[in-house]
Amino acid sequence: MTARRIAIPGRVVLIVYAAVLLISGSFDVARAANNPPPASSLPAEQLEKIRKEEKRLLEIRQDLMRQIAVNRKIERAIDKDRKFAEKLESKKMQQLIAIYEKMAPRTAASQINIMPRKLVTVLIAGMNPRKASRIMRYVDPATAVRITSDLATRPVSGEDLRRSP
């Protein structure tokens, strides 16, 4: 009988050897990773540096937490102010819409002809459709086309749907 040589790659041998060591308990990876060297084996100055660094990091963390709390308070205040401003703006627009609805159609149309485009769109969109149509009869044709185009491309809001007949 002749001896046959089997070619085994080096990695396989290494993996098998590591597995044998782990199974036999000669090499405990978990124990080695979880047990840092005892504190007494570190020089005193390294321990002091580590303590100072931990203290500094803890102070930084506390400062960040305080800053986050302050920022959250500021954010809540800004949200509150923004909601109040939106409510106020909405109320102003409702009053302006009511004024233009009560005006004579020709007078309202003459003013709408020279108003900024965005304001006209919001104004007409907020009006009662019957009153808006009476005003639109007297609006300059080019302005009427522009208003109609703006209204058609404007996103529809829940408020628009509530007003529609």
The pLDDT tens digits of the residues spanning 30-79 come to 455 455 555 556 788 899 999 999 999 999 999 999 999 999 999 998 98
Q: How many Cβ atoms sit within 10 Å of the Cβ of residue 156?
A: 10
Alpha-carbon span 2 to 125, nearest angstrom: 99
User: Cβ(101)–Cβ(134) under 8 Å?
Assistant: no
Evaluate if pTM is beyond 0.85: no
Could you state, in order of their start, the residue ranges of all structural domains in the chain? Answer: 41-100, 103-165
What is the pLDDT at residue 165?
A: 43
Residue reference for tokens 């959250």: 72
The per-type count for the chain, helices as H runs and strands as E runs, is 8, 0
Higher pLDDT, residue 160 or 145: 145
And the tokens for 125? 């969109």
